[in-house]
């Protein structure tokens, strides 16, 4: 009997696979190997072929062989990432199942008074009568992207145990460090050897994505000069105040709190320091390549202005592109979008094409020669304590994957 996608998901989220933005190797945290080893074990037991475990970099690859007469079909891949976001702890996850959800506020943790309110998350009401998996309010859930992992694994088990279902050769890939922008760093596209692929790393059921942000990360270092406050006039240079001045030069409206859909932003992710030295970490995002380049230029211009005002070397900017909008690649492979929409409708799900306000491994893989749009997982509120996923949505995603596999 095929294991339920819910059972897999609940098992996977018990494993802490949080990646680390400050990590220097791949994977950025060794604990991601624990889930990788489990997946290799499960793939072996279910009869997958060509299983490869990159023990150095923590990638897992496997194949589902084509059924008789289908060997000539293009090879399709399915990819998800094993790590969870550094934003909130992924250790000691205690998932809770809410059956026949009543559409009201959900008490996640009565002892700590943590409640997920419909006033804050109105889309909850769409799931009245369905079953939800939620957190205990102290950690993230890990649906991003262990839901995708569980859905792909459930699809794989079904096809390997039902050889009467016709399909071409399928490739499966699980990556580390997607949440810190490094998921594709050591992905072996040649070894994967697929003609196309889908990442299963999206949100609400029905969402289909082939446009993502162009993305850059920046570290801005501000250098100051500490002098006793009583004798500081015309001598002190406060690095923290310079950092605040720099932030004030960026457009107020181009902030994640005020943007949606195709609107880009500057996001101050962290600020640490003192009078002598302060360090600010930013991310810069925009779907439009032209606007993306304009944002980076304004960022550099703000630093140059402050250096002219306070002296050369006051502001140092390290700016690096992370990934680009896969739309530029996928536009030449729109049959992938058509097939996904058809697979969704066959599963009783109405597709909704939306831009990704973020990125996926698929964005970088598309530029590495593997066209790779993104499919939904059914999850909501990723990277936080109020993350949740609908069980019926996960089951529907498995049906979508099976429909795609059958082609």
Which residues of the chain are in CATH 3.30.70.360 domains?
214-323
pLDDT digits 0-9 by tens, 80-132: 999 999 999 999 999 999 999 999 999 999 999 999 999 999 999 999 999 99
**pLDDT (average), residues 36-42:** 98
Instruction: Output the six-digit token pair for 253.
Output: 């409206």
Structure tokens at 285: 């995002």
CA 205-143-384 angle, 5° bins: 110
Report pLDDT for 64. 98
Instruction: Give the strand order in the sheet containing 315-323.
Output: 265-273, 277-286, 214-223, 315-323
Q: Over pLDDT 70: what percentage of the chain?
A: 99
pLDDT for the residue 1: 39
In terms of C-beta density within 10 A (0-12 exposed, 13-18 middle, 19 or more buried), how is residue 122 classed?
A: exposed
Residue 208 β-bridge partners: 353, 375
Fold of 5-212+325-406: Aminopeptidase (3.40.630)
Contact at 8 Å (CB) between 370 and 197? Answer: yes
pLDDT digits (tens, 9 = 90+) for 281-333: 999 999 999 999 999 999 999 999 999 999 999 999 999 998 899 999 999 99
Pick the closest to residue 187 from 197, 198, 196, 174 (CA basis): 174
Task: Tell me how far apart the alpha carbons of residues 88 and 93 are, in angstroms, rounded to a whole number.
Answer: 11
Is the pLDDT at 279 greater than 80, yes or no? yes
Residue written as token pair 């997946």: 39
**CATH code reported for the domain at 214-323:** 3.30.70.360
Number of H helices and E strands in the chain, helices first, is 10, 18
Q: How far apart are CA 60 and CA 377, in angstroms?
A: 20
pLDDT of res. 181: 86
Q: In whole angstroms, what is the distance from residue 360 CA to residue 345 CA?
A: 24
Q: In 3D, which of 299, 383, 387, 341 has the Cα closest to residue 95?
A: 387
Is 32 in contact with 188 (CB distance < 8 Å)? no
- As a whole number of angstroms, the distance between CA 388 and CA 162 comes to 31
Please tell me what DSSP assigns to residue 18.
B
End-to-end CA distance of the chain: 24
Average pLDDT over residues 238-258: 97
Determine the pLDDT at residue 358.
82
Averaged confidence pLDDT in the chain: 96
Residue range 164-196, pLDDT digits in tens: 999 999 999 999 999 998 999 999 999 999 999
Domain with CATH 3.40.630.10 in the chain: 5-212+325-406
Residues 6+ apart with CB under 8 A from 33: 27, 55, 58
Q: Is 178 a catalytic residue?
A: yes
Which candidate, 95, 10, 100, places its Cα nearest to that of 385? Answer: 95
Checking if the pLDDT of 346 tops 90, the result is yes
Q: Of 144, 145, 178, 211, which residue is the catalytic one?
A: 178
Specify whether the CB–CB gap between 165 and 32 falls below 8 A.
Answer: no
Predicted structure pTM score: 0.89
pLDDT confidence of 2, banded at 50, 70, 90? low
pLDDT at 359: 79
User: Does residue 213 have a pLDDT over 60?
Assistant: yes
Q: Active-site residue among 83, 136, 145, 201?
A: 83
């Amino acid at each position: 009997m095929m294991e339920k996608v819910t059972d897999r998901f609940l098992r996977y989220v018990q494993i802490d696979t949080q990646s680390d933005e400050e990590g220097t190797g791949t994977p950025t945290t060794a604990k991601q190997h624990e889930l990788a080893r489990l997946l290799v074990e499960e793939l072996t037991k279910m009869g997958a072929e060509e299983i490869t475990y990159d023990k150095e970099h923590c990638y897992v690859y496997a194949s589902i062989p084509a059924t008789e007469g289908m060997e000539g079909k293009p090879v399709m891949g399915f990819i998800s990432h094993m790590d969870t976001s550094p934003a909130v702890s992924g250790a000691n996850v205690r998932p809770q199942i809410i059956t026949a959800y009543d559409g009201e506020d959900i008490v996640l943790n009565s002892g700590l008074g943590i409640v997920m309110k419909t006033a804050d998350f109105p889309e909850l009401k769409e799931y009245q009568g369905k079953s939800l998996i939620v957190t205990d309010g102290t950690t993230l859930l890990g649906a991003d992207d262990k839901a995708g992992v569980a859905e792909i694994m459930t699809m794989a088990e079904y096809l390997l145990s039902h050889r009467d279902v016709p399909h071409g050769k399928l490739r499966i890939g699980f990556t580390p460090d997607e949440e810190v922008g490094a998921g594709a760093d050591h992905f072996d596209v040649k070894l994967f050897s697929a003609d196309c692929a889908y990442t299963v790393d999206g949100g609400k059921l029905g969402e289909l994505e082939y446009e993502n942000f162009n993305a850059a990360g920046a570290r801005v270092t501000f250098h100051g000069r500490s002098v006793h406050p009583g004798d500081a006039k015309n001598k002190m240079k406060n690095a923290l105040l310079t950092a605040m001045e720099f932030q004030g030069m960026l457009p107020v409206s181009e902030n994640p709190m005020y943007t949606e859909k195709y609107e880009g932003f500057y996001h101050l992710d962290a600020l640490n320091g003192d009078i002598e030295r302060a360090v600010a970490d930013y991310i810069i995002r925009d779907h439009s390549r032209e606007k993306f380049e304009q944002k980076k230029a304004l960022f550099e211009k703000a630093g140059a202005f402050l250096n002219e005002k306070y002296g050369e070397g006051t502001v140092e900017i390290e700016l690096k592109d992370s990934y680009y909008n896969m739309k530029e690649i996928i536009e030449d492979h729109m049959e992938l979008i058509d097939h996904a929409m058809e697979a969704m409708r066959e599963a009783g799900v109405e597709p909704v094409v939306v831009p990704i306000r973020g990125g996926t491994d698929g964005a970088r893989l598309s530029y590495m020669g593997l066209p790779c749009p993104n499919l939904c997982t059914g999850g909501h509120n990723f990277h936080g304590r109020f993350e949740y996923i609908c069980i019926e949505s996960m089951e529907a995603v498995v049906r979508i994957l099976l429909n795609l596999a059958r082609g």
